[in-house]
Amino acid sequence: MSDLLQESSQEDAVEVTIFDRAYRLRKTADPGYLKRVAGMVDERMKLVHGADRTRPAGDLAVLAALQLAHELSEAQSERTQLELKLNQRARDLEQTLDAKLRELGV
């Protein structure tokens, strides 16, 4: 488990609330960041809970994690596609520049 996510009882911890349950997380990152991430999880669990109020909290957590993982995967795929396009554009510009420099005899 990531150090970021390990529960901690140390003074060097930040408390977050997810689905009405408090967690003390080790401060290995900015406390504001930890609270924002926990807020995203809390929001997603509440959204899933709103769609099906009969599911236990553990099931809601898994469904929320699956949704967040899906969004992450989509964002990673989009980033990869954008990087490929950017690299191709850079190659095209380099070739154009090389051709213009050859025309100028440089």
CB atoms within 10 A of CB 64: 22
Half-sphere CA count of 11, side-chain side, radius 13 A: 0
Per DSSP, the three-state class of 58 is helix
In the chain, domain spans: 3-103
What pLDDT, on the 0 to 100 scale, is given for residue 5?
A: 56
What pLDDT, on the 0 to 100 scale, is given for residue 7?
A: 58
Which residue positions in the chain have pLDDT lower than 70?
1-10
State the DSSP H helix or E strand holding residue 68, giving kind and residue range, or none if neither: helix 57-103
Q: Is the pTM of this model over 0.85?
A: no
CA 45 centroid distance within chain: 16
Cα(74)–Cα(99) distance, integer angstroms: 38
What pLDDT, on the 0 to 100 scale, is given for residue 12?
A: 86
